[in-house]
Amino acid sequence: MKDLFNDLKRLSNEAKRFITGTLPREVGKMAEDHFRDSFHNEGFTDETLVKWPEVERRKEENQKITKNKKTGKKSSRYSRKQQTSPILTDSGDLGDSIKWDMDYNKEIVITTDSEYAQIHNEGGMAGRGKKVKIPKRQFMGPSKQLEKKIEKTLIRGVDLIFEFKK
Query: Rounded distance, CA 93 to CA 135, Å?
Result: 19
Measured in degrees and rounded to the nearest 5, phi and psi for residue 113 equal: -100, 10
pLDDT of 75: 67
Q: What is the pTM of this model?
A: 0.80
Are residues 112 and 43 part of one domain?
Answer: yes
Are residues 44 and 23 part of one domain?
Answer: yes
Are residues 99 and 31 part of one domain?
Answer: yes
Query: Rounded distance, CA 46 to CA 149, Å?
Result: 12
Are residues 154 and 74 part of one domain?
Answer: no
Residue 144 lies in a domain: yes
Are residues 97 and 147 part of one domain?
Answer: yes
Q: Across the strands, what pairs with 49? A: 45
Residue 166 lies in a domain: no
Are residues 98 and 127 part of one domain?
Answer: yes
Are residues 117 and 70 part of one domain?
Answer: no
Are residues 74 and 42 part of one domain?
Answer: no
Torsional sign, CA 117, 55, 39, 51: positive
What confidence tens digit (pLDDT) does each residue in 115-156 have? 999 999 999 999 888 898 999 999 999 999 999 999 999 999
The H or E element containing residue 78 is none
What confidence tens digit (pLDDT) does each residue in 21-69 have? 899 999 999 999 999 999 999 999 999 999 999 887 777 777 676 667 7
Query: Rounded distance, CA 71 to CA 73, Å?
Result: 5
Query: Rounded distance, CA 70 to CA 68, Å?
Result: 6
The total of structural domains in the chain comes to: 2
If one compares 92 and 29, the residue with the highest pLDDT of the two is 29
Are residues 149 and 103 part of one domain?
Answer: yes
Which one of 86, 107, 140 terminates a domain?
A: 86
Are residues 127 and 102 part of one domain?
Answer: yes
Query: Rounded distance, CA 148 to CA 54, Å?
Result: 29
What is the SS3 assignment for 6?
helix
